[in-house]
Structure 1
């Protein structure tokens, strides 16, 4: 017959494993969501082969978007009278930006180092959030510091470049 001590050790081990599995799943879901949120823009910026690349001179800005004429830089790209770029703190009227055109549209996203870092900002936030889950739920403090450090570095680099 099992003693009370051995059965309590077993239940503690099961609870510890359950906590580890649940928090590990939450941390993994947060990181997957960060990659998913970033990839929507990052795919155009990072995989530019065969895409139209050029510059846009921002001439008008509305509440959420800015627009201006597109000047092609890559072969196969065509000049456009107006393309639309999302209005962010880094897009200002009167400035010119290197961009990539989204397929089958007149929408563009920033390219180059600034565009890449801007595209991965959601992942930076997810890394910071996951670090809290890893530290508190999984009790893996060193891994949490690593996740937080990478997230802070990514967000800081994006802030500096933009």
Structure 2
């Protein structure tokens, strides 16, 4: 039996989120809130971003299924995205609350992806982001959910490596 794209995506998100939570819950608050540089995010900013972004992309998949004629997506300068990772927002959050949000993501992803058919994966809706115009729901699953979480999991490891060199 071969794994479906949905099953692989669900498993990948579950493993990545579990890994992120496993690492972060054992760190000090100083390590979590430390910024490697002015251009790089702290681990707190990373996990806050993941906790906002993945549910956002899951909702976009749901919206595309219901209204494939409507534009989906956002760019790097999206106001909600930027506010989520702002120092003011991140400093107002409790680490435990963000970890709880992260812990709920795999179930949300699974519920949505289990309801996505192979035909749904082929839907191409217009995108608000020109880079993503002409991309299918499958692209959202692979790149904006699965690879997105994996990328930030690796970013946390890079931050820890840099922190240990401090």
- TM-score, length-normalised on structure 1? 0.32
More strand by share: 1
| Greater RCO structure (CA 8 Å; 6+ sep) | 2
> Quick check: which has more Rg, 1 or 2?
1
